[in-house]
């Protein structure tokens, strides 16, 4: 897999039926390793190891309804009170981050109301804080610590 713009992490891999899987510490199971999953697993480790987010507050790949359509968010981090703290959209490293990517996470966030957003393809990371009054987001240099 391609090197990403994250620190180096130790991952567990498994090869079965000529498919490589990576262990997801949050879902507690092996997931088929795709370029997007490679990015997602780096972000999970980044949140746990660099930003010190508690594992029990992180949720990966769950269904949500957006405009009567079933969608799946990549990663969310909850606050201790159950409110959403952070919503993360992962893309494969070969996918350019565009306005369309921000529109996608903004649509999800209309439903979820996370305080912070992150969009990444593993190479380029964008961090935002929501301004709900002005219905906009403010770009940040990095994510806050938990």
121 has pLDDT over 70: yes
Mean pLDDT for the chain overall: 90
At CA 137, angle to CA 134 and CA 139, rounded to 5? Answer: 140
pLDDT at residue 146, as a whole number = 76
Say what the pTM is. Answer: 0.89
Which band of pLDDT confidence, cut at 50, 70 and 90, is reported for residue 135?
confident
pLDDT tens for each residue of 39-98? 999 999 999 999 999 999 999 987 677 677 777 778 999 999 989 999 999 999 999 999
**How is residue 108 written in tokens?**
């999800």
Strands annotated E in 12-143: 13-16, 19-24, 29-32, 58-66, 69-78, 84-90, 116-120, 125-131, 136-140
R_g over Cα of the chain:
15
pLDDT at residue 66, as a whole number = 65
107 has pLDDT over 90: no
Which band of pLDDT confidence, cut at 50, 70 and 90, is reported for residue 105?
confident
Q: Which residues make Cβ contacts (< 8 Å) with residue 10, sequence separation at least 6?
A: none
Q: Which residues make Cβ contacts (< 8 Å) with residue 67, sequence separation at least 6?
A: 107
Q: Which residue has the tokens 């610590």?
A: 145
Cβ(21)–Cβ(14) below 8 Å: yes
């Amino acid at each position: 897999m391609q090197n990403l713009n994250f620190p180096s992490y130790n991952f567990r891999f498994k090869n079965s039926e000529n498919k490589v899987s990576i262990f997801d510490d949050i879902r507690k199971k092996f997931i088929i390793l795709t370029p997007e999953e490679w990015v997602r697993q780096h972000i999970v480790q980044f949140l746990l190891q660099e930003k010190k987010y508690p594992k029990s507050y992180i949720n990966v790949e769950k269904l949500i309804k957006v405009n009567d359509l079933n969608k799946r968010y990549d990663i969310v981090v909850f606050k201790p009170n159950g409110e959403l703290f952070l919503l993360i959209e992962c893309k494969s490293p070969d996918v350019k981050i565009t306005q369309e990517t921000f529109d996608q996470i903004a649509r999800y966030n209309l439903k979820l109301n996370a305080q912070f957003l992150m969009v990444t393809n593993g190479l380029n990371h964008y961090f935002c804080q929501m301004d709900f009054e002005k219905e906009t987001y403010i770009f940040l240099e990095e994510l806050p610590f938990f």
